Homo-oligomer: A and B are copies of this chain.
Amino acid sequence: MVLEKINSPKDVKSLNIDEMNILAQEIRNAILNRVNTVGGHLGPDLGIVEATIALHYVFNSPEDKIIFDVSHQCYPHKILTGRKRGFLDPLNNYDISGYSNPKESEHDHFVIGHTSTSVSLATGLAKARDLNGEKSNIVAIIGDGSLSGGEAFEGFNNAAVLNSNIIIIVNDNEMSIAQNQGGLYKNLETLRKTNGKSENNVFTALGFEYRYVDDGNNVEDLINAFKQVKDTDRPTVVHIHTLKGKGYKPAEENKEAYHWQLPGFLDKKISGGSCEDYFSITTDYILNKHDKKLIAISPATPGATGLSTEFRAALGKNYTDVGIAEGHAVAYASGLATGSAKPVLFVLSSFLQRAYDQLSQDLALNNSPATILVGWGGISGADMTHLQTFDIPLISNIPNIVYLAPTCKEEYLRMLDWSIEQDKFPVAIRVPSNELISTGIEDKTDYSVLNKYKIEEQGEKVAIIGLGSFFPLAKEVKNELKKSGINATLINPRFITGIDRKVLDGLKANHKVVVTLEDGILDGGFGEKIARYFGSSDIKVLNFGGDKEFTDRIPVEKLYEKYRLTKEQIADDIKKLL
């Protein structure tokens, strides 16, 4: 076993090509082993094994600095830089994260998890090197769909005029998470077809030196190419053509499904999951509507929001994958709405962060009646790069946008239908992150009457306002308080972006404490607005939610306990105030 002897990049340097090819296979096995144990990115990492070996053979990490975009392709890099135990030993799998992290290794330079950032970060590192009068190679590796994000282009634009060493490896595996989208990817295709010879070359047009490696899974070819560009004094692109999922047949054949996998995937067939959930009822709704003006939009994450290949095929020209480009997606939706189409954008809470200014300027300022479905919002045990706890402060402090928080299937569908059919407001809906709840009672609310909270159960002394996916928790707290003889009022606010003065003022007569529960950070969120509203009154307010912090793979139960979000803790805190 070659991998046995590899404890740092310098051990790679003594290998010959045959040993490197054996090592590649061993790394693939290690990746499969890890993903089967803890889940994670699969196809992207299988595809970049040889390139990573070649990088560490040619360059001298950590003096030479290698920055992986998204860093979901850094598994082989981790294996070669002293962290193979996180891939070989199930007991250690959880010690090592799925993304780069300087706290894990001197060979990592940034915590990275969002896309399209590597070139900008690397340009800063390269400029710092030059200011410090140092010499080293700065290598950014970008691809797998990340090229379409605006920050990547901004980075390319400025890296091109750095007038110094920066090497950008464009890992062209012909894919994003799903199919690649956009003119840039057509250019990559042209370059592949001409073996890198086409004059039509976006990289040389921007001012880069350019090299092409057609077999990006051939370690010898890669080593030759990397040697030629090492220590260059010019901004340089090395375009390598790799096979996503390489070496594991199911992943080669079904690239989208094997982009990321759940634990245990080796032992079972991949199934789309047939249970009803909030996204499946959304796609059912859209398909049943047969509305030629309705258009579904995904920023390259269709799978994560339940947009199956069948759904996309059925919609045809009424579906656009804009690539990883959330900013454009929001502006595109605004343009569509202005043109009397009915855009529905499917996006994850964490990734919508890339579109703040577009939400504000392109959408809200124009009052464009687009619908944005915000998925996965809430406190979770996710990696610190993929937290979904910031969308309430992000969206709800922008004027004009109506941000809705449904608590069940019936409310959700009513809100969705209202949003799509109305023409006055930009609407975002926080798709509940908990399991689908159906009350069986049709919701007939007119959501065009904004900021109307629903009193679900009238009580006294204590009012619990449970927002969206935390409404079930509010119910539990109410039941908990019952044990102490407290009959609390239960409120479903439904609107995140406004205050229902009538309902809140009505509480003053026979309530002493108002409690808010929200599934996200408290800072800048929903509860603070309630606290402000009651600030000058005699009502006491308790806000429950997450802290403003980046948590990293902490089990959600632990976070709930830390934030005092168990029903018992909440009830205790309330009782102390009575």
Task: Give me the interface of A with B, judged by CB distance under 8 Å.
Answer: 102, 109-114, 117, 120-132, 148-161, 181-184, 186-187, 199-202, 204-208, 235, 292-293, 295, 317-318, 320, 322-323, 325, 327-328, 331-341, 343, 353-354, 356-358, 360-362, 364-366, 384-385, 390, 393-394, 396-400, 521-525, 527-529, 531-532, 534-537, 540-543, 548-550, 577
Report the Cα distance A121→B362, complex, angstroms. Answer: 8
Q: How far is the CB of A151 from chain B (nearest CB, A)?
A: 5
Given A124-B343, A339-B125, A357-B356, check contact A187 B206 (CB 8 Å). yes
Contacts of A338 in B (CB 8 A): 109-110, 121, 124-125, 128
Jot down 13 A-B pairs with beta carbons below 8 A, ordered by A. A111-B365, A121-B362, A150-B152, A151-B357, A153-B153, A154-B327, A155-B332, A159-B183, A353-B357, A356-B356, A360-B390, A523-B529, A528-B528
Q: Which residue of B lies closest to A370 (CB)?
A: B124
Q: Which of B102, B130, B341, B390 contacts A127 (CB 8 A)?
A: B341
Q: How far is the CB of A490 from chain B (nearest CB, A)?
A: 20
Report yes or no: B120 in contact with A331, Cβ–Cβ below 8 A. yes
Report yes or no: A204 in contact with B200, Cβ–Cβ below 8 A. yes
Contacts of A336 in B (CB 8 A): 124-125, 127-128, 131
Report the Cα distance A412→B358, complex, angstroms. Answer: 32
Given A187-B205, A356-B356, A397-B523, check contact A327 B150 (CB 8 Å). yes
Report yes or no: A532 in contact with B524, Cβ–Cβ below 8 A. no
Report yes or no: B120 in contact with A332, Cβ–Cβ below 8 A. yes
Q: Which of B151, B364, B393 contacts A328 (CB 8 A)?
A: B151
Report the Cα distance A156→B334, complex, angstroms. Answer: 16
Report the Cα distance A202→B335, complex, angstroms. Answer: 25
Q: Which of B149, B353, B396 contacts A360 (CB 8 A)?
A: B353
Q: Which residue of B lies closest to A386 (CB)?
A: B361
Contacts of A318 in B (CB 8 A): 131
Report the Cα distance A113→B322, complex, angstroms. Answer: 24
Q: How far is the CB of A233 from chain B (nearest CB, A)?
A: 15
Q: Which of B131, B332, B343, B361 contacts A293 (CB 8 A)?
A: B131
Given A200-B205, A341-B131, A399-B548, check contact A323 B157 (CB 8 Å). yes
Report yes or no: B121 in contact with A155, Cβ–Cβ below 8 A. no
Q: Which residue of B lies closest to A292 (CB)?
A: B131
Contacts of A129 in B (CB 8 A): 339
Q: How far is the CB of A209 from chain B (nearest CB, A)?
A: 12
Contacts of A398 in B (CB 8 A): 390, 548
Report the Cα distance A61→B542, complex, angstroms. Answer: 55
Contacts of A390 in B (CB 8 A): 360, 397-398
Given A158-B322, A323-B157, A531-B528, check contact A393 B385 (CB 8 Å). no
Q: 5 nearest interchain CB pairs?
A: A150-B150, A124-B335, A128-B339, A160-B183, A154-B328
Q: How far is the CB of A267 from chain B (nearest CB, A)?
A: 35
Report yes or no: B399 in contact with A132, Cβ–Cβ below 8 A. no
Contacts of A542 in B (CB 8 A): 535-536
Contacts of A523 in B (CB 8 A): 396-397, 524, 529
Report yes or no: A124 in contact with B331, Cβ–Cβ below 8 A. yes
Report yes or no: B207 in contact with A181, Cβ–Cβ below 8 A. no
Contacts of A199 in B (CB 8 A): 199-200
Report yes or no: B155 in contact with A328, Cβ–Cβ below 8 A. yes
Q: Which residue of B lies closest to A203 (CB)?
A: B205
Report the Cα distance A273→B126, complex, angstroms. Answer: 36
Report yes or no: A157 in contact with B183, Cβ–Cβ below 8 A. yes
Report yes or no: A524 in contact with B393, Cβ–Cβ below 8 A. yes
Report the Cα distance A332→B181, complex, angstroms. Answer: 26
Q: Which residue of B lies closest to A148 (CB)?
A: B157
Q: Which of B117, B187, B529 contacts A207 (CB 8 A)?
A: B187
Report the Cα distance A542→B531, complex, angstroms. Answer: 10
